[in-house]
Amino acid sequence: MVPLRGVHVRQATPPLPDNSVVTDLDFDAFDALTFDCYGTLIDWEAGITVGLRRILDRHAVDATDDQLLEAFAAAESRLEARPYLPYRTILAAAARAVGQGLGIEVDDDEASEFGGSVGDWPAFEDSARSLKILRRRFKLGVLTNCDDDLFAASNRRLGVDFDWVVTAQQVGSYKPNPHNFETLRERLHGSGIAAARILHVAQSLYHDHVPAKRLGFHTVWIDRRHDRPGSGATLPAVVQPDATYPSMAAFAEAAARG
């Protein structure tokens, strides 16, 4: 295993909300559920590690999953904070940055392959079924850090027609930029959904919960990493969601019942 060079690897993660505690929500108070896609519905950590390992194997270099995901998180967040570039370009540049940290040069073909790999990333096994259950009670939307065509490829794995799809490509910026959430709020308001009637559901505390809570959204944390240390492919953040569930299946069961 080769240590990552020039990439800060966290020695400790700030404390996160206790995932064993689920705050009671009155689901009758909401008309619409909006979702983050990658990390929440699509298993992007699996897709990222497979794509990066495909590159590393060609160079006979190895690293742990956590090293790869944390290096990716650092690179992606840095790139997305700059003036807008398509997500394919963000991913390609992130692959180059991870490779540089491992002492290898990722070539154009390898970077481009990783940049277009989103459509190959698998859905979590509970995503499609959970969305179909939730669709019976709520209108559904997506707020995603992705290009329109890449999300369309992922959406085929989810099997649900969302009422609203707001991508980074449409907004011209990436979460956690508050403008993405403001655009989401305006889009739903145009359909007659008041901001107070929106419940945002996401895995990433950094990308979603911090900006959403600052703008007054109610949020649910799908803590996909509840049985693993660290924050994986997202930077760590400290924020208190309104409720926490370990999976989409657990959330859908509660929302359908409540």
Report the catalytic residues.
Answer: 36
| Prior bond of 3 cis (ω within 30°) | no
Angstrom CA distances, 3 to 7, 22, 60, 196, 230, stand at 9, 38, 14, 47, 18
Residue with tokens 């904070």: 81
Distance of CA 30 to the CA centre of its chain: 22
CA atoms within 13 A on the CB side of 242: 18
Whole-angstrom distance, CA of residue 97 vs CA of residue 80: 13
Q: Which residues contact 49 (CB under 8 A, 6 or more apart)?
A: 65, 68, 69
Do 5 and 103 meet the contact criterion of CB atoms below 8 Å apart? Answer: yes
The two tokens of residue 42 are 């699509």
The two tokens of residue 5 are 């060079």
Whole-angstrom distance, CA of residue 130 vs CA of residue 147: 24
**Could you give phi then psi for residue 199, rounded to 5 degrees?**
-120, 120
Q: What share of the chain is helix, strand, coil (3-state, %, to 5)?
A: 45, 10, 40
